[in-house]
Amino acid sequence: MSKEETKNKLIEEFGVHFESEYDLPPLAARIFANLVITEEEGLTFEDCINKRGASKSSISTSLNLLLQMDFVKYFTKSGDRKRYFKVAEKNTFFIKKLNRSLKKLERESEMLRKITAYNEQYRPEKHEENKTKITVYGSCIANMTKDLKTTIAELKRQQQQD
């Protein structure tokens, strides 16, 4: 398989992943994947049109969505009126992704706490029946939360050093 074929396959795989992971529309996911994979300093609007083969309005809508979500940013080059799009700062992107995961875990932990308290008070037999499973699951959530917080702190430290 040629480099270009491998690259296109990887862009498609990443696109599918970004669609499901971030609830992105297919075109926005593919543009983002292109920006992750590109060896260029950034892609212009025209580059995105050429690489994706979509209409100007579709590309524009997708790029605006990615900008609003802080997945990408743009820059200009001196003497060039074009905007160049690239993935937002890597550490910032990863920190935001991990923070989203952390918030999900914190909501899950809170719901687990409420369900446990309800069952303990109003359905003691159900509480006893599920006590071991809930303890193991709660421990898993706590460990994942701790790991995410540690990783986020480390990424922030690295970001400050850069």
Task: Count CB neighbours of 97 within 10 A.
Answer: 14
Question: φ, ψ for residue 135 (rounded to 5)?
Answer: -65, -45
Decide: helix, strand or coil at residue 158.
Answer: helix
pLDDT of residue 93: 78
Nearest CA to 91 out of 18, 14, 21, 156 is that of: 156
pLDDT of residue 91: 59
Query: Which class in CATH covers the domain with range 3-87?
Result: mainly alpha
pLDDT of residue 88: 86
Residues in the chain, total: 162
Distance CA 93, CA 113 (A): 30
Mean pLDDT in order along the chain per 10 residues (162 residues): 92 94 94 93 94 95 94 92 88 83 96 96 96 97 98 91 79
Q: What is the pTM of this model?
A: 0.72
Burial track 29-55 (b if 16+ CB lie within 10 A, e otherwise): bbbbbbbbebeeebbbbebbbebbebe
Distance CA 18, CA 59 (A): 17
pLDDT of residue 44: 95
Sign for the pseudo-dihedral over CA of 15, 100, 152, 114: negative
Q: Angle at the Cα of 9 (from 76 to 64), degrees rounded to 5?
A: 35
Distance CA 157, CA 89 (A): 14
Question: φ, ψ for residue 84 (rounded to 5)?
Answer: -110, 130
